Each structure stands twice: as C-alpha cells, then as structure tokens.
A and B are shown apart, each in its own frame.
Chain A
Amino acid sequence: MSDILVLAETENNYLHSTAGELIAAGRKLADELGNQVCAVITDDVDESSFKNLIHLGADKVYVISHAELSKGNIDAFVSYLEQICIQINPNVILTSRTYMGRNIGARIAYRLESGVAQDCIDVEIDKNSSRVIATRPVYGGNAVARFTFNQDDPQVIILRVKSFDSNEIDTTRNGSIEKLNISIDNDAIKLKLIETVKEESEGIRLEDAPVIVAGGRGLGGPEPFKQLEELANIFDGAVGASRAVCDAGWMDHAFQIGLTGKQVAPDVYITVGISGASQHMAGCLGSRNIIAINNDADANIFKDASYGVVGDWEKVLPSFTEAVRDLLKS
C-alpha cells in the first residue's frame, strides 16, 4: 500500500509550525484512502520532535541524517526524498510553501516525472479515481482553480502556510520511528551553502504577532511607519507592509506580507493605506479580523475587512491610536 509522505521541516532544534499543518492535510487524505501518513524529518532536532510528529497525527516517522541536510541544502533533500520514494513508493508527497518546501516539492516532482500543485489551500480525494484534487488560488488570488493529478505518482502538493490547522496533540497515539539508512550520490549535491545570516529585527516576529498593523502606499513615505509602530506597540504586535512599500524602499522586504512575502494569520490585522490587491490578501486572509483604514470607499480591502473607516489616515490613525490606548488601559 502506498503511503503519504510529509516533509517535516525543523527550526531551532524543534518542529517548524508547518509540520503539524502538513500532517493534518496528510491525515485528511490518508483517512479517505485508508493509508498511512509518514513524516520525514532530519535527525538534528530534539528527540521529542519524533514523538510529537506521531502525536500530531503521523503513523510513521522516518529519520534521515546528513551534514548537508542539517545545513538546509535543497539538493540533499531532493536526493534523499528521491531515494525514499524508490524504497516506499508513496502516492502523495506534501511539503510546505516555505523557502525550502516550495523548492524541494517542485524539484522532486520533476525528478520523478510526476505532477506538482503549488500553493494549495485545500486537498481532497476524488471518489471515482482516488486521485488527489488540489485547490489553489491562481491569477494572484483573482480566481480559484481545482486540479486533478493524472496517472503519475507521487502527487506532489505544496501547501500554503497556515491553510490547514494542526490537529490537537494526542499523546495516546502510537507509531513507529525508524532511522533510514540511505546513501545518496554526492555528485547530485551541486549547491554549496556558504552561510546563513540572521538579520535580527527587534521585537516580535511577524509570523507570531497576535496583532499586525500593516501600511501601504497610501502612507506616502517611510516616516508614517513610526506611527504604525506606535499603534502596534500598544498590542505588543508587529508592523507589516505591502509590496508597493517595500519596492519603494520605505520598509525592508522582510516586512512584506502577501503571496510573495510572509503569510500571517494574526487575531487582528489592521491595514492603513493598503488597497487590498489579491496578491496582498493572499498573505493575510487567514487573519481572524481584518480592519481597514483607507480613503477610497471602493477599495478592495473593504471586501475582506470586517470593520473599517473610509477616511484620510493622517486624521483617522492618531485618534484611533489614542482611543485604543485609553481603552486598553482601563
């Protein structure tokens, strides 16, 4: 029986938050197909991570190890996955749309000459054919497409970050943990990873912030972002930006939210001077509440926001910030 293979990424010795999302999506498919979810993980993590994968819903854990995997060398991951596929013949591979996952997912599909669906927000099994149907936004989110995979396996699915919720941890779940002995052709590792440099930003990470205040081109320049920061600080939140802002150099690209920036899903996402282009919304539609301040009543952002003000941010924002400060004090 072919299984479902999930590539669990790691971060600072522990599971990356996307691992649980992938397993949840994998479970959905496995429960319909009656097969197993197998998670692949590198060995450079705390031992508890292996069990955690099982508690999150995996049936088997395959542990792989190689110095280049630990460095995050994509070539090494593709070669390992290739060898694993030869051994266990999975019918589905799931990776996350992270820097690593989106590149590894695409490469492994082409190496094995099978299909890949990028940036999926949902997956299901076609009752007649038992093939996967992948739902993915296209045209920057202006349309939604559903694709089926033709005959070739593995069907590679690259899942949009935060499109699935991890399952609750279930410590009663059992599963096997197996160290895989695999040798790969070292010539297939063509990339050399020279260095990984952390560009520390102060304060909370965008992906973890409970409240994000995001600014757009409507702010007119870099200075107003100080005011957004002031508002964000009241909530211990973070500041984000649209691509127009980053391309103009008002904020660093690390602050960009959207299809080609970061994907966030805070409790509250407050936009100021952002039009709400579908490519921007692709990065924040998972937010629980979207709030908009924009002077154009017809702006797209009001289609996705739950509360908003149509007005000039220069007048709206200071009084909003002040009122928020007062309200949260009392």
Chain B
Amino acid sequence: MSFNIVVCVKQVVDPDTPSAAFNINQDKLSVIPADGIPPVVNGYCENAVEAALKIKDSIPDTTVTVVSIGTNFIMDVIKKPLSMGADKMILVDDPNLESLDPFSTTKILSSVISKISDYDLIICGQHASDWDNAHVPMGISETLNIPCLNSAREIDIKPNEITIKSSIPDGYITLKSSLPALVTVSNEIGEPRYPTLKGIMQASRKTPEKLSFENIDIKISDLSPKMTLVDLALPVSNSKCEILEGEDDADSGKLLALKLRESKII
C-alpha cells in the first residue's frame, strides 16, 4: 500500500536565545531576532518529521511531504527535514504571514493540505516555541473534519487505522481512529535523527515547491482574524536573590539551610 504523510513544520526564533539577547519591537509588537542567532525548525516539528520517518522506515511505499508557511525562510534551516529524509517540501512564503493570527494560518495550511493529493496522515508538533499557541493542529483537524489525536509518544499504523499512546499526568492513554487523521507529537516520540551526509546531499538537490496565496485560492480579505495582539512586553521579575556565601561550598550549603530555617521557609 502506498502511504502519504504530510508534516507541518514552522521556522521559529531559536528558543535557546538567552533572555538577555531577547528584544521586542514595540511599534510592530514583534520579537527582534537576536544578532547572529539564526532561526531553527521548531523542536516539536522536528519530532513530527522523526515520527513520519519512523513510519516510512516500517511502511516501504511511504511519501513524506513537508509543508511550511511563513516568510523570510532561510533555506539552510527550513530544508532540514529534507536532509533528515523527507521526500518533498512545499513552502507558502508570503510577507502577509508575518502578522497573521493562528486562525488564518490554520485556514491556509488546511487549504494547502487539501490540495496535496490523498493524504493518509497529517503529523504536527504539539506546540510551536514562538507564540506557544498550540492550537493550529486542532484547527486543521476541525477544518478538514478528520480525527485529531493529541500528543503522541508512540504511533502505530495498521491498514486504515492509527493507534497512539499519549502521556497524561499519571500514566498514559491509548487512542485509536480511522485514517485519514491528524496526530500531534510530543518530544517523547523520540529524538529527531541527525541528517546523514547522503541525506544532506540529496536535500541539496531538492528544491522546495513554492506556492503563493493565489495558487491555493486564498485572498487576504477572506481571512478573518479572531484575535488582535494589543501589547507585547518583556516579563518583569520582582524577585531579589540573596546569595549565601560561606568559607567553601559545603559551608554555603549549611548557611543556606540555616537561612531558610530562620526565614521560616522550612
């Protein structure tokens, strides 16, 4: 059987950017990327690519198509899923995407996906580390009217059927649905594989297909944003830390305990 997987990925500001290098443009209510720190593929999206490639490892005739929408794509960054082993990539690159809300993103992604041939499975990361919305995948499943399975740590594919295990606070649940379906993955699905030299070579020969809003029948005027960002600020910390310093580290540890007792914290 041939099996078609679509993986949605997002290019984001590197979440390991030190907070000291983190800055905000107050006029545009946006984050200023730190100098010299390139963007990355969102971590959970890499997990999603890994999940797709694991399925490809076990079902021979699997095609993995990666879709990303955004703007200012850096090819060396966004093509990483191809170097990991994905077959194809589709990019919707439009400057309007910078300021669109997640509801518009959902509409556009759903529109691209429905144009891609027959998909059996859509895999998304459960969370993007920039706006932390964590709801676009659910939106896609609602828009396409397909089952939505959340935060998988294990995925099992049988003909026309998907079963996942998903962590809950004190254990896990097992969920099943028919295909096509959408599944989101958590980091527990497994570390994204490193691109091999062969993978990097192959990816360098692949050109992502670029689509514009026109190609997918989207007009900006059709998109109705549901939310408006009114304010963006750096968080304020009002805590002042008292550092206990003894003669040596062991002594400092003891002083810390005494201090906590004295302050009735313990």
Contacts and interface: CB of A to CB of B under 8 A. Distances in A.
Contact of B142 (A110, A148, A327): A110
Contact of A307 (B129, B135, B229, B260): B260
B127 A107 contact: no
Contact of B227 (A117, A191, A207, A289): A117
Interface string B122-146: 0000110111111100110111001
Contacts of B254: 319-320, 322-323
Given A150-B227, A302-B241, A327 B172 contact: no
A262 to B, nearest CB: 7
B163 to A, nearest CB: 7
A297 to B, nearest CB: 8
B188 interface: yes
B38 interface: no
A308 B243 contact: yes
Contacts of B130: 138-139
A117 B245 CA distance: 44
B170 A306 contact: no
A318 B250 contact: yes
A69 interface: no
B111 interface: no
A169 interface: no
Please classify the interface of chain B as helix (H, G, I), strand (E, B), loop, or mixed, using the class held by over half of its residues. Answer: mixed
Given A262-B169, A289-B265, A309-B253, A141 B235 contact: yes
A328 B234 CA distance: 40
B177 A192 contact: yes
Contact of B132 (A106, A259, A304, A322): A259
Contacts of A113: 226
A303 B101 CA distance: 32
Contact of B168 (A99, A133, A310): A99
Interface string A100-111: 001101110111
Nearest to B237: A303
Contact of A144 (B133, B187, B233): B233
Interface stretch (B62-70, B87-95, B148-156, B201-209): B148-156
B72 to A, nearest CB: 17
B147 interface: yes
B186 interface: yes
A99 B31 contact: no
Contacts of A267: 265
A236 interface: no
B133 A247 contact: no
Contact of B174 (A195, A278, A307, A309): A195
Contacts, number: 270
Q: Which of A116, A305, A321 has the most CB of B within 10 A?
A: A116
Contacts of B98: none
A196 interface: yes
A205 interface: yes
A307 B231 contact: no
For the complex of A and B, the 10 pairs showing the least CB-CB separation, nearest first, are: A115-B226, A323-B257, A320-B253, A315-B249, A106-B135, A311-B249, A319-B253, A110-B142, A190-B147, A316-B253
25 contacts: A106-B135, A111-B142, A116-B135, A141-B235, A143-B31, A145-B233, A146-B230, A147-B230, A190-B146, A191-B147, A193-B175, A196-B171, A247-B187, A260-B126, A289-B260, A293-B256, A303-B239, A307-B260, A309-B255, A315-B253, A319-B250, A319-B251, A320-B256, A324-B260, A327-B257
Interface of B: 13, 15-17, 19, 22, 24, 31, 101, 103, 106, 126-127, 129-135, 138-139, 141-143, 146-151, 153, 163, 166-178, 181, 186-188, 191, 224-235, 237, 239-245, 248-261, 263, 265-266
Given A118-B132, A143-B232, A311-B252, 15 more contacts: A107-B148, A110-B138, A142-B234, A145-B232, A145-B233, A146-B230, A152-B224, A190-B181, A196-B173, A198-B171, A253-B187, A306-B242, A315-B249, A318-B250, A319-B249
